[in-house]
Structure 1
Amino acid sequence: MLKQFRVPDEIAVRVESAVMRRTVGDIFGKFGMPEDDVRRAVDCLLYADDRGIDSHGVSNMMPRYLAGFRDGSINPAPKMRVVHDYPAAAVVDSDGGLGLTIGPQAMEIAIEKARHCGVATVVAGEGGHFGAAAYHAQLALPHDMIGVAMTVGGRLVAPTCGAEARVGLNPIAIAAPAGQEAPFIFDASMSAVAGNKIVLLKRAGADVLPGWIAEADGTPVMDERPVPDDFLVLPLGATPEIGSHKGYGLAAGIDILAGLLSGSGPALHRTDSSGHHFTVYNISAFRDLGEYRTEMDAYLRELRETKPAPGHERVLYAGLEEHEVEIERRERGIPYHPEVIAWFRRTTAELGLPDHLG
């Protein structure tokens, strides 16, 4: 994680994961979320915080979710149902529920179908934000499968050469198991910077980096500056000269695969609901699992043993740094900004809930 997004050590409040899990679970339960859904939602959010994906953890997301419960845009107790069912595919109606709770259930369906068909895809329509895409993709790992998850994000991204937001942030995650190495877990939006990371920048008082955003008229911002009030997010690649058409095209592709295919529509037409896409590959349907693991370990080692460029200590592969962060945070606790801790204390007091944060 870039230093711009980190809470400075001198002000960070360290909280054990189990303590924050209890706090978040109490809050979700107070709003009428069923016990199984509370478990799913808490697991998704704390997966992000445990692994340093702070943009999609409790700091940014809990205020947003509670606002949705209060204004009725999020259904805390949805009745998810399968509306189309085929041997290797399904469509589910999320009934306005959070993707945090719908996503794991959709992945369960996809995993079971992939046991029999080798590959399976489930799309979910009419749902809410689903947290970190990596969480859903990695649910396939214990089953010796490769998971893919993508979602239609907020409409904040300007198409290449555009002066209006027309496509979503649209993250995609790919999780692939290994043997002895930490699994490969890639998770990234198709924008130059994730929308939730802009919130982290504002909280930390940090500047945006060149190529992340554009002026309101679509002119790319190519210097460091504070986050302006009005801006557009640039697609991955920032400008045509360095490949923004690639990020724009991938974002539009996810609009199609997760939005149009699920019936929720692209980010351009998104209201309160969103579409999600989940695909699972059963490795044993393609090759011997043991041989795959051996080759995967060798491949990942070759990546991380790459000679580093001047000014860099080492080369990483997707998921390795998060794996290391999780080990450190399990030992020392999750670092939260004091403003976040204050918000939780106010919220639990308002709801008449115990303060587990001490």
Structure 2
Amino acid sequence: MLDRFKVPDDIAVRVDQAVMRQAVEDIFKALDMPEAEAESSADVLLYADIRGIDSHGVSNMMRAYVAGFRAEQINPAPSARRERDTLGAISYDCDNGLGIAQSRMFMEEACERAKKTGVAVVTAYNGQHYGPSAYYAHLALPHDMIGISMTTGGLLVTPTQGAERLLGLNPIGIAAPSDTEVPFIFDASMSSVAANKIQLLRRVDGNVAPGWISDAAGSPVMEESPVLEGFMMLPLGGTREIGSHKGFGLAMLVEILCGVLTGTGGGPFRRQGTAHYFMAYDVGAFCDVATFKKDMDEYLRALLDCKPAPGESRVVYPGIPEHEAELERRAEGIPYHPEVIEWFKRTMADLGITDDLP
């Protein structure tokens, strides 16, 4: 995570992950979420926080979820229904359930089905926010599978050369197993920066970088700037000259595979909430698993050994920064902004919950 998003060390409140996990579970259960789903939800959010994916951890997401439950916009105890099932393809109606509570089940079902079919896809619609895509992709790794997960994010992105919000943030998560090296785990929105990171910037009074947002008229902001009123997110790449048509196309891909493929529309025509996509490739259906892992290790080591460009210290591939953050945060605690801790204490008091937060 870039330094501009981080909570300054001199004000950060370090919290042991077990303490924060308990607080999250207690809040969800107080809002009528069943215990098993509360535990699954906490697991997703703490995965994000422990691995430095702060934009999709408790700092931003808990208040959004709590507001959704209180406004009766999210079903705390849904009953997901399997609507279609044809060998390697399954589709679910989420019953307006919170994605972080349900989506582990969907990815695990994709993995189990892929053991029989080689490749399997589970789609889900009529849902709600599901957190970091990487979490679901990484669930395939213990099965010696490649995992892919996508979701239709908030409709905040303008197409290349456009001035309307017609695309979601639409993150894609991909994980591939290795042997001894840290596994490849990629997770990125198809906007130039995740919208939740804009919330992190606001919390620490930071500026956006060039090419992240447009102004309200659709003109890309190509200099350091405070967060503008009425801004729109730019596709991955920022402008046409530096490749935003690629991010635009990938964002459309997610709209198609998640929304249109589930029969619930894409972009501004989405129906029935958020839609998700989970895919598993059984490596053993394509090649020898040991050979695959050996080849992955060889490639990953070559990337780590790559000669750095002038002024740079090293090359890291997706998964390394998060792995290093996890080692540090498990040992030292997760750093939170004081405002986040204050929100937790206030919310837990309102719900009649005793907290152990610092």
Q: Which stretch of the first structure deviates more once superposed, 292-301 or 48-57?
A: 292-301
Asked if the contact 2:307/2:314 (under 8 Å) is kept, the reply is yes
**CA distance in structure 2 between the aligned counterparts of 1:349 and 1:265, rounded to whole angstroms:** 41
Q: Which residue of 1 aligns with 2:219?
A: 219
Q: Which residue of 2 aligns with 1:318?
A: 318
Asked if the contact 1:265/1:275 (under 8 Å) is kept, the reply is no
Q: Which residue of 1 aligns with 2:42?
A: 42
Give the Å deviation of 1:143: 1.0
Q: Deviations over 1:95-150 (max 9, x none)?
A: 00011122111112111110000000000000000000000111111111110000
Give the Å deviation of 1:261: 1.0
TM-score, with structure 1 as normaliser:
0.99
Q: Which residue of 2 aligns with 1:354?
A: 354
**CA distance in structure 1 between the aligned counterparts of 2:17 and 2:135, rounded to whole angstroms:** 16
**CA distance in structure 2 between the aligned counterparts of 1:238 and 1:322, rounded to whole angstroms:** 24
2:186 is paired with a residue whose SS is: strand
1:337 is aligned to 2:341: no
Give the Å deviation of 1:271: 6.5
Q: Deviations over 1:218-271 (max 9, x none)?
A: 100000011112101100111111111110111011100011112332231347
Cα distance change, pair 6–272 in 1 and its aligned pair in 2 (3 A): farther
Q: Which residue of 2 aligns with 1:210?
A: 210
Instruction: Output the amino acid matched with 1:75.
Output: N
Asked if the contact 1:264/1:274 (under 8 Å) is kept, the reply is no
Q: Which residue of 1 aligns with 2:281?
A: 281
Asked if the contact 1:149/1:174 (under 8 Å) is kept, the reply is yes
1:209 is paired with a residue whose SS is: coil
Asked if the contact 1:153/1:267 (under 8 Å) is kept, the reply is no
What are the residue-to-residue correspondences of 1:1-358 with 2, within 5 Å? 1-270=1-270, 273-358=273-358
Asked if the contact 1:17/1:50 (under 8 Å) is kept, the reply is yes
2:170 is paired with a residue whose SS is: coil
1:156 is paired with a residue whose SS is: coil
Give the Å deviation of 1:272: 7.0
2:120 is paired with a residue whose SS is: strand
**CA distance in structure 1 between the aligned counterparts of 2:272 and 2:231, rounded to whole angstroms:** 22
2:11 is paired with a residue whose SS is: coil
Give the Å deviation of 1:354: 1.0
1:257 is paired with a residue whose SS is: helix
Asked if the contact 1:150/1:173 (under 8 Å) is kept, the reply is yes
1:227 is paired with a residue whose SS is: coil
Cα distance change, pair 271–350 in 1 and its aligned pair in 2 (3 A): farther
2:276 is paired with a residue whose SS is: strand
1:268 is paired with a residue whose SS is: helix
1:167 is paired with a residue whose SS is: coil
Asked if the contact 2:265/2:271 (under 8 Å) is kept, the reply is no
**CA distance in structure 1 between the aligned counterparts of 2:36 and 2:263, rounded to whole angstroms:** 26
Instruction: Output the amino acid matched with 1:77.
Output: A
Instruction: Output the amino acid matched with 1:234.
Output: L
Asked if the contact 2:264/2:271 (under 8 Å) is kept, the reply is no
Asked if the contact 1:91/1:262 (under 8 Å) is kept, the reply is yes
Asked if the contact 1:110/1:121 (under 8 Å) is kept, the reply is yes
**CA distance in structure 2 between the aligned counterparts of 1:272 and 1:9, rounded to whole angstroms:** 42
Asked if the contact 2:150/2:277 (under 8 Å) is kept, the reply is yes
**CA distance in structure 2 between the aligned counterparts of 1:211 and 1:145, rounded to whole angstroms:** 35
2:190 is paired with a residue whose SS is: coil
Instruction: Output the amino acid matched with 2:171.
Output: P
Instruction: Output the amino acid matched with 2:47.
Output: Y
**CA distance in structure 1 between the aligned counterparts of 2:269 and 2:54, rounded to whole angstroms:** 28
**CA distance in structure 2 between the aligned counterparts of 1:340 and 1:239, rounded to whole angstroms:** 34
1:164 is paired with a residue whose SS is: coil
After superposition, the CA RMSD in angstroms is: 0.9
**CA distance in structure 2 between the aligned counterparts of 1:148 and 1:267, rounded to whole angstroms:** 21
Give structure 1 stretches of 5+ with no counterpart. none
2:235 is paired with a residue whose SS is: coil
The size of the alignment, in residue pairs, is 358
**CA distance in structure 2 between the aligned counterparts of 1:270 and 1:334, rounded to whole angstroms:** 36
Instruction: Output the amino acid matched with 2:345.
Output: R
Q: Deviations over 1:310-356 (max 9, x none)?
A: 11110000001100110000000000000000000000100000111
1:263 is paired with a residue whose SS is: coil
Give the Å deviation of 1:164: 0.8
Give the Å deviation of 1:304: 1.0
Cα distance change, pair 283–47 in 1 and its aligned pair in 2 (3 A): same
2:156 is paired with a residue whose SS is: strand
1:92 is paired with a residue whose SS is: strand
Give structure 2 stretches of 5+ with no counterpart. none
Q: Which stretch of the first structure deviates more once superposed, 146-155 or 264-273?
A: 264-273
